Structure 1
Amino acid sequence: MCRWLAYSGSPVRLDDLLYKPANSLVMQGKHARMGVETTNGDGFGVGWYGNAPLPGVFHSTEPVWHDRNLHELAQQASAARVFAHIRATTGTAVQQTNCHPFRHGRWLWMHNGVLADFPKVKRDLAMAIAPELYPEIEGSTDSEMFFYLALTFGLEREPRAAVAQAVGVIEDAGRRHGIEHPIQMTVATTDGETTWAFRYSSEGNSRSLFHSTDIATLRAQYPDNPLLHDLSDDTRLVVSEPLGDLRGAWQEVPDSTCVVVHGGEQDLYPFTPSAV
């Protein structure tokens, strides 16, 4: 399906996230270790927060390992909060408007997974989106529709509750159409200050998701590792799969869990869809 990462901490150059790690996102584009597909070459996107009022986004339909413009950009651009996503389509077109992360105002959203039998439930889900939001949908993916369902249910006010309600609506629609397992998801969303990441599936066997161990703990464990001394204490990553093999650096996010990252603090909460 897809792979993604969500970074927050001190400003970091994009190539330090996308290219340099042993199992970088660019490497995962060709050789994902934990994804359903080993190749994720149907486009990519990067979102980051700088000095402008809204986050920047860069999307391309090129395979991530083949895009020279991304390589040039990544060597110059830096940010303290970065979303990056590589795509393996589940059937919708390879086009820029279908590349994650999606943006609405200050919010970014990216998804790995699928709304099962999306053509069957698409109309029902579209009808549940607020009329004032629906015209903003630019692409044709289930992931973007999921985003606008969450916005409809109050993502900008209470993200955990909004995503729970959106998933509840998706599962209800799916089961009314005879779909046994309506949703498979890892999702990340941010307003530029806090990141919320979710791991859930209707079947209880969700796509992989990991969070980083706090930097102070890793420094104590590996005092001679120079990379750990270059990272700020508030550095946090949530990723589809670990970026490297340093023992103890990555913790698996339990199934049916929401991870909340804010100011270097990280909390895990049980996640359950809201009943419809």
Structure 2
Amino acid sequence: MGERDAGHGLKTTAVSLELVEHILELEGATMAELVEATGLAKSTVHSHLTTLAEYGYVVNSDNRYHLGSKFCHLGDYVRTRKEYYRIAQETIAWLDAESSMEADFTVEEHGRIVSLYGDLEFANSPRFLIDGSPFHVHTTASGKAIIAEYPESRVREIIDRWGLPTPTDRTITSEDELFEELERVREQGYGQAEGEAIEGFWAVGKVVKSPRGEVLGSLNLSGPAYVVDEETKATQVELLSRGVERFEQGLVEMYQPTAATDGEE
């Protein structure tokens, strides 16, 4: 198959990324553990680890490989490069103060849902970063809220790529069921998920749009399902709606030309 794999990506790059994910999943790994996890020759694994170490992506401490602190800088870059970074942070801080639940802001990338801003307790585990199930659009309130704004063709592209995995017995399992759910999301104005990605976890998500109407992502509130009754749900939806209004108003103000610009000829 040569230098490229069946997915048309560089095979050598794929191996390096696979090693990074194994190190993350194992919270540090020995050479022997990585050889066993990948099924590759020790010399191949060693070559990739040496290259990753040279570029600062892994470190070797007492014959155990860990991810390098360079990933911290990359994560900060990903979050702060968004022009709406400060607005998102301020909105989440406001929601944290007003709501008893956890707030975060997510985006869709390559058909998956990624949380950019917020402090979700369940996301602190490396398992969360490796196991794709919490990120599938059909399992999360944020994912449903976002793809409800997409044309059907785009939603089907995502399904064709990732399928409809079922991390819990409450997860949507068919395309018909998903499209019916997306219609409900459009009617009520928000997405909701209860134990569909993580057992016992409830969440509500509502899209945030730019002044031009583009979907930027989803603002979300989440917490244990056992504390959510109809009154609690209504309260959280109302708070979330106010949060989205604050976010979108901040975007309008950010994009407005300054007085000096308005006066220029």
Give the TM-score, by structure 2 length: 0.28
Q: Which has the higher strand share?
A: 1
Q: Which has the higher helix share?
A: 2
Give the TM-score, by structure 1 length: 0.27
